[in-house]
Amino acid sequence: MNSSKKAGAVLALALLAGWGCSDFLNGPGLTENPNNPLVATPIQILVSIQANVATRLEGQLARCASVFTQQLIGSNNQQLQWCTAYLVGESDISGQMSGFYTGGGLYGIRQVEAAAQTAGDNQMLGEAKILEGLMMGTATSVWGDLPYTEALTPGIDSPKLDSQQSLYAAVQTRLDEGIAALTTVLASATGNCSTLEGDVIYCSAAGSRATELQRWIRAAHTLKARFHLHLAERNGVTEYNAALAEALLGINEVPTSQTNAIHGQGAGDFRTFHGSVQDLDANIWAEFLSSRQDIVAGNTLVSILKARNDTVRLRNYFDLNSQGQYVGADQNNVTVRPAGCPAPPAACAPSVVNTLVRRQFTFRQPLVTWAENQLILAEARFMTGDSAGGAANVNAVRTAVGLPTLAAPTFTDVMTEKYIAQYQNIDVWSDYKRTCIPTLTPNGTNPEVIGRLPYGSAERTANANVPLPSAYPTGTTGSSPVRNWDDPNACP
């Protein structure tokens, strides 16, 4: 990507400027400051990549995805304008797009992959390949066609945009390569893993290295299943069969407590690591909500939880308002007051994101979970004629979170369960675009819920191949100019 090469050029110029100075006090031990290294090690870059994954998938994209699907509603400032009102512009999202390429994005991932191949380190290589698959699969779900095969090619100032179809194929290949690399290590893995090797997702000081590798491999299979589902609206049952096959190899460790199941904290769940220091290592959602309250509960999710008598997740996802009630705002940021709530909005404000768990700096945000894997199995089975098998999967999730099983769940029940389980997860947006569940009323007079984000202004300015917003792709039905190739049909 153009911006990646520019960042490298700036660093090179800075180093060249330093080399032009006198050699006075130069030499071993004199010009090498161990506390200010000029070159990061592959392990340091790998850690920075995982931090960037957290920033991208817990940050503005996740906030907008949750608002677009009305789990939450942007109530003030940018969240109201960009997400609730669908008015996000090229400059608003530019940094989010470039973050998939620069620094800890594709540029850093390729550095780690190259170093790992040179060193014959298949564990580092496998983890980097899986992270590449996660990042680029997510990016194409948001923006559709993107620079990829030429993105980091020296001498190409305007890399071509690869089609979304080819990007999903490439993502599947990267995930397969990651699985293969880790499988070779697993065959002889012994002892405990070490966080000094750079894995802050699955490794702990007392964790088995074999278990660490198995969890990475299973998470990769769940990701493969997720991205096959992204293509089901376009390609039909073929993708459901592929998703089913991958999910059968996916995350299979049932969370050991109701709380862990609700919050995606199972041992096999792919969760970002966070510490307790704001602006350093804290949970991105928590950082944002600790400094501003521009996001509130969405009435769609609150109403679904109430209608299904899902009080457990209602209180785990949201806080009671000052009137002791759970209240949401609708698609236009209008508070939907239940009976017994005073009429003035200030007296009966919408609920906010749960304080005790979800807004803790150290909360490990779940990105890929056992619950998602179960509900991928459920969707795929329903769509391939095995409704009984799908019912078992959806009821497994309900049992884990402390809810009674459903006697005869429907496909709508499956997707509603997934909508609830994927709270604050960017992929809930793809689920909605594919299935149109739950039923959503678009903001204002818009014909449909927004289906893609604009390209970042920095990349469009630098890359002649990035189209103007007026030339963005449209679906095969409906009038929206903001839908990707994998989403041809408008929701009713």
Under DSSP, is residue 10 helix (H, G, I), strand (E, B) or coil? helix
pLDDT digits (tens, 9 = 90+) for 30-65: 344 444 555 789 999 999 999 999 999 999 999 999
Q: What is the pLDDT of residue 339?
A: 86
| CA–CA gap between residue 96 and residue 105 (Å, rounded) | 11
- State the Cα angle at 437 between 431 and 441, rounded to 5°: 115
Is residue 28's pLDDT more than 60?
no
Residue 27 confidence (pLDDT): 38
Q: What is the pLDDT of residues 276-295, one digit of tens each?
A: 999 899 999 999 999 888 99
The string of pLDDT tens digits covering residues 156-203 is 999 999 999 999 999 999 999 999 999 999 999 999 999 889 999 999
In this predicted structure, the answer to whether residue 134 has a pLDDT above a threshold of 70 is yes
**Domains along the chain with CATH numbers:** 1-6+40-188+451-469 (1.25.40.390), 284-348 (no CATH)
Q: Annotate 1-11 with b (16+ C-beta within 10 A) or e (fewer).
A: bbbbbebeeee
| Residue 324: φ, ψ to 5° | 75, 30
467 Cβ contact partners less than 8 Å away, ≥ 6 residues apart: 455, 460
Strand, helix or coil at 378? Answer: helix
Q: Residue 492: its pLDDT value, please?
A: 85
Closest of 301, 300, 169, 149 to residue 230, by C-alpha: 169
What are 102-120's pLDDT values in tens digits?
Answer: 989 999 999 999 999 999 9
Report the predicted TM-score, pTM, of the whole model to 2 decimal places. Answer: 0.92
Tell me the helices (H) and strands (E) count for the chain, helix number first: 20, 8
| DSSP strand pairing (366-368 vs 295-297) | unpaired
What is the structure's pLDDT at 342?
Answer: 80
Q: Is the pLDDT of residue 140 over 60?
A: yes
Structure confidence at residue 291 (pLDDT) = 86
Q: Measured in Å, how far apart are the chain's first and last C-alpha atoms?
A: 37
**Where do runs of H (alpha helix) occur along 187-309?**
209-230, 232-235, 237-247, 258-262, 284-291, 299-307
* CA gap 279, 281 in Å, rounded: 6
Mean pLDDT of the 342-366 span: 91
Is 76's pLDDT higher than 60?
yes
User: So what's the pLDDT on residue 457?
Assistant: 95
Beta-strand (E) ranges in 104-233?
146-147, 161-162
Predicted local confidence at residue 5, as pLDDT: 39
pLDDT at 475: 62
Q: Which two tokens stand for residue 147?
A: 């620079």
CA angle 286, 366, 304 (to 5 degrees): 85
- Cα–Cα separations (whole angstroms), residue 437 to 111, 166, 404, 420, 429: 40, 27, 22, 11, 10
**Per-residue model confidence as pLDDT tens digits over 361-402:** 999 999 999 999 999 999 999 999 999 999 999 999 999 999
pLDDT tens digits, residue range 226-269? 999 999 999 999 999 999 999 999 999 999 999 999 999 999 99
Mean confidence (pLDDT) of the chain: 91
Residue 453 contacts residue 142 (beta carbons within 8 Å): yes
- Tokens representing 374 are 């179960």
Confidence at residue 206, expressed as pLDDT on a 0 to 100 scale: 65
Q: Give mean pLDDT, residues 335-360.
A: 90
**What's residue 345's pLDDT?**
67
pLDDT number for residue 18 = 32
Q: Can you tell me the distance from the alpha carbon of 406 to that of 205, in angstroms, rounded to the nearest whole number?
A: 40
For residue 476, what pLDDT band results from cuts at 50, 70 and 90?
low
